Amino acid sequence: MSSFTEPTIKIQGLTKEYFKKKVVDNINLEISNSCFALLGPNGAGKTTTMLMLLRLVKPSSGTAFILGADIKKNMGDIRRKIGYLPENIGFHSRITGRSFLELVLSLRNKARTKDGDVESYLHWCGLEERDWDKNVKTYSRGMKQRLGIAQAFIGNPLILFLDEPLSNIDPMGREELIKKIREKRREGNTVIISSHIILEIEQLADTLAFIDKGKIVASGKIYDLARSYGLNEFEISRIGYEKDVSIDALKDEISAEKDLISGSPTLLSEKIIFKTENPRKVAKITWKYEDYNFTPISGALNKLYKKIIGK
Amino acid sequence: MKEDYNHNRLNFTEEPLFLFYLKREVLSIRFMICILFSLIPLMLLMLAWGDWIPSSQNGINSIFWFDFVSYTIVYSPFFTLISVFITADIVSGEFSNKSAMILYTLGSRSKILIIKFLYLMLSIFIFTVICFISFSIYSFFRCEKLASVDFFLAGFIIAYFDLLFFVSLTFLCSTLIRKTSPVFILPMLYMFLDFYYFFEMFELDLLSYRYYLLNVFEFFSDILYSNAIIITAEMIINLILAFGLPLLLFIITIYAFTKIDIRVD
What's the gap in Å between the CA of A130 and the closest CA on chain B?
23
Calpha distance A248→B40 (Å, rounded): 81
Q: What's the pLDDT at A63?
A: 94
> Bigger pLDDT: A306 or B143?
A306
Return the ∠ at Cα A148 (arms to A146 and A149), rounded to 5°. 65
Query: How does DSSP classify residue A127?
Result: -
B105 contacts on A by Cβ (under 8 Å): 104, 107-108
CA distance readout (Å), B144 to B133, B136, B151: 14, 10, 17
ipTM of the complex: 0.78
A158 contacts on B by Cβ (under 8 Å): 1
Nearest beta carbon to residue B106 from set A47, A79, A91: A79
Kind and range of the H or E element at B104? helix B101-105
Residue A2 has pLDDT above 60, yes or no: no
Lowest mean pLDDT among A53-62, A158-167, B196-205: B196-205
Chain B, nearest residue to A102 by Cα = B16
Average per-residue pLDDT for chain A? 87
Q: Which residues of chain B have pLDDT under 70?
A: 1-13, 41, 50-52, 265
Interface of A with B in 225-244 (CB under 8 A): none
Position B74: which residue type? V
Disruptive mutation site among B103, B110, B116, B260 for chain A (greatest number of A CBs within 10 Å): B103
What's the gap in Å between the CA of A84 and the closest CA on chain B?
6
What's the gap in Å between the CA of A157 and the closest CA on chain B?
10
The burial of A143, by beta-carbon neighbours within 10 Å (0-12 exposed, 13-18 middle, 19 or more buried), is given as buried
- The mean per-residue pLDDT over the stretch A175-185 comes to 84
Calpha distance A311→A308 (Å, rounded): 6
Whole-structure pTM value: 0.83
| Residues A101-139: tens digit of each pLDDT | 988 888 876 655 666 789 999 999 999 999 999 999 999
CA distance readout (Å), A34 to A170, A297, B71: 26, 20, 67
| Residues A203-247: tens digit of each pLDDT | 888 899 999 999 999 999 998 998 888 888 888 888 777 666 788
Instruction: State whether B105 and A151 contact (CB < 8 Å).
Output: no
| Residues B188-206: tens digit of each pLDDT | 899 888 887 788 788 788 8
Phi/psi region, residue A37 (left: phi>0; alpha: psi -120 to 50; beta: rest), is: beta
B108 contacts on A by Cβ (under 8 Å): 76, 79
Chain B residues with at least one Cβ partner in A under 8 Å: 1-2, 4-5, 7-9, 11-12, 14, 16-17, 20, 24, 94, 97-99, 101-108, 259, 261-265
- The mean per-residue pLDDT over the stretch A79-94 comes to 87
